[in-house]
Amino acid sequence: MTFSSEFELLLRACYPLIYIPTPEEERVESAIADCAKRLGDRAVYLWDFVEGYQDNPNNENVGKRNPLQALEFIEKLPDKVGGVFILRDFHRFLEDVSISRKLRNLARKLKSQPKNLIIIAPHLQIPTELTEVLTVVDFPLPSANEIKTEIQRLIASMGQSLDPKLLDELTRSAQGLSLERIRRVLTRCLASHGQIEPEDVELILEEKRQSIRQTQILDFHPATEQITDIGGLDNLKDWLLRRGNAFSEKARAYGLPHPRGLLLVGIQGTGKSLTAKAISHHWHLPLLRLDVGRLFAGLVGESESRTRQMISLAEALAPCVLWIDEIDKAFAGIEGKGDGGTTSRVFGTFINWLAEKTTPVFVVATANNIQALPPEMLRKGRFDEIFFVGLPSQEEREAIFNVHLSRLRLHNIKDYDIKRLAYETPDFSGAEIEQTLIEAMHIGFSQNRDFFTDDILEAASQIIPLARTAQEQIQFLQDWAAAGKARLASRDSRFGRIQTSLS
């Protein structure tokens, strides 16, 4: 259901108090006015704290700097007079006991009248006593068609035209931005060189990064890692490569649905986060990183609002990759958390979206502790596949040493005995192999020379791998994967007992 159809339905059903959290004040007011016009029996009244009511000369400045008077004005109008009353930034006054009481009184009175009170605020902020009388309606970011229309309107106003290919690229790049931000960055481009050029796409992307940073929920993560930077994990890489064109129109015409996502479960430092970055780079999709902890806030309803905002933003930026690192820490023990059920509601909203989403948002979630994940997360339909990423085999350790040494010492990589290095580092994760090389470089640098195979072996002898310090947890993960609970990321995964000493 679109915003317009949902909002019109609420107006016809005489919902008295509606709360719309959105920073796009001008755009939502225009959408509200269009809905009221289609109904035909409701005039639109606008109020803000500085100017009061501004809709017509008879009401001018009524309620100026007086929010209680603004509500009393609505109450004094004849019962049969229809109206949509838009109160800007009214969330700031909801904690006042007189305002809260007056709103609850109005909620009862307006149920039988053709009047609707609309609170527009940049974010959701509802005190507990008003949760039952206020109806929250989300206002989505502009669609691709709205963005394209706005770009065409702006370009036409300058007496110019755009190449269709550039128009499509600008539209795709601007998805996830408000119309105001799109207008601002395009006006900047026109002011700079008099026309829109292909290079201006990067300016739009920078505006998008800035916009995402300001939400303080998602991060726009630059991804330069490639599939070839992943050592081993051949089954997982084959699965990803097979789906390289799955977001194309050709795939839709073939009848393929959009890929939904992956859950990568396994031991820390084995390349799960690297895989998320490599997916984004290989598929040429923007990478959004979600810190689930940022969804939770202190005010009633705000955590759920942030979750909906995250979903709305991710869908507006689709197709994209949404990377959720260590999801097990965010939702561990949700039933026993003493937060009034907030975590459970956020989790419910999130997994329902995972199961029902139709937009091309590819979710890559990583987890280290499978025991902490709620069973609902592992149910089929949330993700396309669950992969277990275990400790690398000797052959995979060779590949990991090759990847890192090719980056560090490509000119003399043949001088290193990579087979011996892989053999002498059993139970080392990819992250521990990288740290071993860094330590070896410190050894060589401190002696004013290059580092050699012996330096790497010396560094390895000083590192205690996680496989020893968290032996029971890792053994549980290996046993869980060996029982067929997940698909193996590596072709030659081993499930023996963890070694306790270096060879």
Q: Which helix (H) or strand (E) holds 494?
A: none
Q: Above 60 in pLDDT, residue 288?
A: yes
Q: At what angle do helices 97-110 and 67-76 cross, to 10 degrees?
A: 20
Which of these ranges, 83-97, 198-212, 352-366, 438-452, has the smallest mean pLDDT?
A: 198-212
Exposed/middle/buried for residue 295 (C-beta within 10 Å: 0-12, 13-18, 19+): buried
Greater confidence (220 vs 364) lies with 364
Neighbours of 176 (CB within 10 A): 26
- In this predicted structure, what is the pLDDT of residue 334? 67
For residue 417, name the pLDDT band (cuts at 50, 70, 90).
very high
Which of these ranges, 259-268, 298-307, 494-503, has the smallest mean pLDDT?
A: 494-503
Residue 63 contacts residue 33 (beta carbons within 8 Å): no
For residue 340, name the pLDDT band (cuts at 50, 70, 90).
low
Mean per-residue pLDDT of the chain? 87
pTM for the structure as a whole: 0.71
Q: How far apart, in whole angstroms, are the C-alpha atoms of residue 300 and residue 346?
A: 12
Neighbours of 24 (CB within 10 A): 20
DSSP strand pairing (261-266 vs 115-121): unpaired
- In this predicted structure, what is the pLDDT of residue 53? 94
Cα-based distances in Å from 54 to 11, 103, 358, 431: 22, 21, 42, 62
In the block, tokens 């997916």 appear at: 279
What is the chain's percent helix, strand, coil content, to nearest 5?
50, 10, 35
Q: How far is CA 201 from the centre of its chain?
A: 22
In the block, tokens 């549980």 appear at: 476
Q: How far is CA 262 from the centre of its chain?
A: 15
Ramachandran bin of 207, using left for φ above 0, alpha for ψ from -120 to 50, beta for the remaining angles: alpha
The predicted-structure confidence for 295-336, as pLDDT tens digits, reads as follows 876 565 678 878 888 888 888 788 889 999 888 887 876 665
- In this predicted structure, what is the pLDDT of residue 503? 36
Q: How far apart, in whole angstroms, are the C-alpha atoms of residue 103 and residue 16?
A: 10
DSSP string, 135-150: EE---PPPPHHHHHHH
For residue 406, name the pLDDT band (cuts at 50, 70, 90).
very high
Greater confidence (473 vs 132) lies with 132
The predicted-structure confidence for 61-103, as pLDDT tens digits, reads as follows 899 999 999 999 999 999 999 999 999 999 999 999 999 999 9
Residues 444-451 have a mean pLDDT of 94
Residue 490 contacts residue 392 (beta carbons within 8 Å): yes
Residue 77 contacts residue 117 (beta carbons within 8 Å): no
Q: Is 486 helix (H, G, I), strand (E, B) or coil?
A: coil
Q: How far apart, in whole angstroms, are the C-alpha atoms of residue 90 and residue 76?
A: 19
- In this predicted structure, what is the pLDDT of residue 347? 86
